[in-house]
Structure 1
Amino acid sequence: MKKNFYLLAVLFISSLTVFSACSDDDDNGGGDTEETVKDVMLDATAYDKWMYFSFKDGTSVAHEIEPVAGTYKGDISGTVMGQDQGTVTNLKLEVGRISKDSVSITVDEFSLAGRTISKFTAGAKIAADSIGWDLAGGEMAVSGMTVTPTTGNISLDSINITILIQPTGMPMPITTTYKGIIETRTGIDETSFNWDIALHRYDVKTNGASAVETTESDIKKVTAIPSSGYVADIKTDSLIIDNSGMMNNKVGYATSNINEVLNKGIEFSSVPMPPTPANWTMSNKVYVIKLKSGEYAKIKFTDYSNDADVKGHISFDYVYPFK
């Protein structure tokens, strides 16, 4: 009898242990568990790079920003000794990156001044100017003629350049002026890797997402997904990628996308100059991001410098997925 009672007691205790273990598993799998807040610091100090970050993978990668290279389409007009020689429309021109301060300029075949000008490629120096990028090339012999890109400018999505063309056997050069608009910009293929947000100094953009600012400063207190108010990225033409001539009012800009809502998380003012800690401010707000996939993440930017007080090292807390 005692043996039977002892056996029943063991079985009863064992059943309680099994029940307890099952209950813990249920809590971990879908009960009221505390969400995990992750923190990360990204080096976004480079003006000429975007630092891309994936919430899902927790990985980051930097890629250079290309402000001018690409394919343009526009019109080229010509004069000889001041006399109009007509205009060729819908002519393709390609700008290729050679080095940081030089590019190649390739112009498709066209006819002006009774001459057929074969497709040619010339080199040009490039530097940030007060408006856009300044172009100037040296004389070079190509395809039976001499071409000299004399003056030019690439501003935002347009190019305007003057090229002297001296065909062999022609006593006077043809002064051509090309004006075009960007069709395809050369640069990193942002669809070739996974990313959700990208940082550039104090700029933020998303991969087809939208964001809303909450009233909370504590990321753990944002427990519900906002139903409205999300703002998508917009196009900007004032992304600074070369500030080396800033004190002389010569700044290199690029066209890109930014998210104005997330940009409030880290704001930078151009006053006072030169930059001081007073230029940088944090909103101290939590933001909810609706990703392209339909998932959500929440984020709070917490600092704009590293332990050595170097600005542009952006720290943030985030929760992904946020449900």
Structure 2
Amino acid sequence: MKKMNWFLVVYVVGACFASCTKNNNGDSWIGKSVTVDCDPYNAWSYFSFKEGKTVKTLNVKSMEGAVAGVYYGDLSSNTLIKNTDSLLMVINEGIGDTVVISFPACKIGAMSGTETTNASFSLKAIAKKEGNIWKISSEKSVVAMEKENATSTDYYMSINGTIGTTKNADFDLALYMNVKAMEDGGMQMNMGGDLVGKSTGKTYGVDGDETSFEWDLAFHRYDIKTNGGAAIMLQTSDLESVTSADVTGESFTSDVDGEVMVDMSGMMTGFIGYQPTKVNEVLAKWVTATPTGSMPPYTYKINGKVFVVKTADGKYAKLRFTDMSDATGKNEAATFDYEYPLK
């Protein structure tokens, strides 16, 4: 499953200037520095070593057609789930064809009576696109339904059906539910039903053409990708001492397929929108995130090591990140010292 990263994101208004800075170890640097200012989740900013500045900012836009999203549907049966009109269903992408289908705000009750309890549950399914529909299929499995009184009940559940790929196309899903203890005791009873509604799945991409201009690094919060380049992290913080001879023959890491968080508007319902994109796993180490086990979930610290980027045309740039805050002190910027081309 995706790992949630609680980062603040980057709109970049780059500015390059000569300065003298010090890293965390006190090593001085007299040369070029740049600050990449950050702001929303839904943007990428593109930096050029040759220009010494940010050359473009592209917003991320949502597009219809994916299976992931926030859905509302009507459930035909009220045997267990009582809020049968506009029942909230959230679909988040998993690994490969897997999706996680969640019902985060159910009202459940006994088969008779009006008293209800707030509850939630999630189950995994396979989503495969066939023409203009997503085919949803899952095997019957044991799922724990969590209740507001901190108790849970195990159910056998499955969900199968179709979801249209275009906005407002129909979705029709058969939700099977039966208390595990009842079914294990020989009582076969479907407490679920048919869930129908209109499709609202989303996918995400940049609102523009990344190939229409020249750039070397793109920033999205603490995520970084190269433009056909590669990177290496050295075990030194002394930027001044690094030369091209230090990286000759070294193995550089190219970008890989990944994803970044771009849509937090549905976070309170349990939906996070991810954009599939290339990312560089080495450059992502410029900030170290340490889990806190509470709120906030992470603390962040500048790595301080020297990175070397090999650009698509075979030139080298060395850089060392020195700050992750903007002028107001918020974690909405990336400042780094650099030399390009590396001598």
TM-score, scaled to structure 2:
0.51
Match of 2:250 among 228, 248, 253: 228
Q: Does 1:51 align with 2:45?
A: yes
Q: Structure 1 residues 154, 272: CA separation in 2 closer, same or farther (over 3 Å shift)?
A: closer
CA deviation vs aligned residue, 1:166-207 (integer Å, no higher than 9, x gap): xxxxxxxxx9999x9x9x967421111121001111111111
CA distance in 2, matches of 1:176, 1:306: 45
SS across alignment from 1:260: coil
Q: Does 1:242 align with 2:263?
A: yes
Contact 2:253-2:280 at 8 Å conserved across structures: yes
Contact 1:202-1:312 at 8 Å conserved across structures: no
Q: Does 1:132 align with 2:132?
A: no
Greater share of residues in helix: 1
1:272 CA displacement: 4.8
1:44 CA displacement: 2.5
SS across alignment from 2:240: helix
Contact 1:209-1:290 at 8 Å conserved across structures: yes
CA distance in 2, matches of 1:298, 1:44: 22
SS across alignment from 1:42: strand
Contact 1:225-1:288 at 8 Å conserved across structures: no
Q: Within 5 Å, which residues of 2 pair with 1:258-277?
A: 258-269=279-290, 271-272=292-293, 274-275=295-296
Q: Within 5 Å, which residues of 2 pair with 1:176-195?
A: 187-195=207-215
1:246 CA displacement: 3.9
Q: Structure 1 residues 320, 59: CA separation in 2 closer, same or farther (over 3 Å shift)?
A: same
1:51 CA displacement: 1.2
Partner of 1:109: none
How many pairs were matched up? 204
Match of 1:42 among 21, 36, 40: 36
CA deviation vs aligned residue, 1:93-152 (integer Å, no higher than 9, x gap): xx3xxxxxxxxx7xxxxxxxxxxxxxxxxxxxx9xxxx9322569xxxxxxxxxxxx989
Please give the root-mean-square deviation of Cα atoms over the aligned residues, in Å: 3.7
Unaligned runs of 5+ in 2: 1-28, 74-87, 98-127, 135-162, 172-195
Letter in 1 for 2:69: W
CA distance in 1, matches of 2:275, 2:227: 18
SS across alignment from 1:37: strand
CA distance in 2, matches of 1:246, 1:151: 13
CA deviation vs aligned residue, 1:235-257 (integer Å, no higher than 9, x gap): 113x1112345465332211111
Task: After the TM superposition, list the runs of 4 or more consecutive aligned residues in structure 1 that deviate by more than 6 angstroms.
Answer: 156-159, 175-178
Contact 1:218-1:286 at 8 Å conserved across structures: yes
Q: Structure 1 residues 152, 271: CA separation in 2 closer, same or farther (over 3 Å shift)?
A: closer
Q: Does 1:65 align with 2:60?
A: yes
Q: Within 5 Å, which residues of 2 pair with 1:93-104?
A: 95=64
1:37 CA displacement: 2.4
Identity percentage of aligned residues:
34
Q: Within 5 Å, which residues of 2 pair with 1:127-206?
A: 132-135=68-71, 155=93, 160=134, 161-162=163-164, 163-164=169-170, 187-206=207-226
1:308 CA displacement: 1.7
CA distance in 2, matches of 1:41, 1:151: 41
1:271 CA displacement: 4.0
CA distance in 2, matches of 1:43, 1:217: 23
SS across alignment from 1:218: coil
Q: Which entry has the higher C-alpha Rg, 1 or 2?
A: 1
Match of 1:212 among 221, 232, 240: 232
SS across alignment from 2:262: strand
Partner of 1:30: none
Partner of 2:307: 287
Contact 1:132-1:253 at 8 Å conserved across structures: no
Contact 2:34-2:53 at 8 Å conserved across structures: no
Letter in 1 for 2:278: N
CA distance in 2, matches of 1:313, 1:262: 15
TM-score, scaled to structure 1:
0.54
Contact 1:265-1:301 at 8 Å conserved across structures: yes
SS across alignment from 1:191: helix
CA distance in 1, matches of 2:323, 2:278: 23
Unaligned runs of 5+ in 1: 1-34, 70-94, 96-104, 106-125, 138-149, 166-174
1:284 CA displacement: 0.9
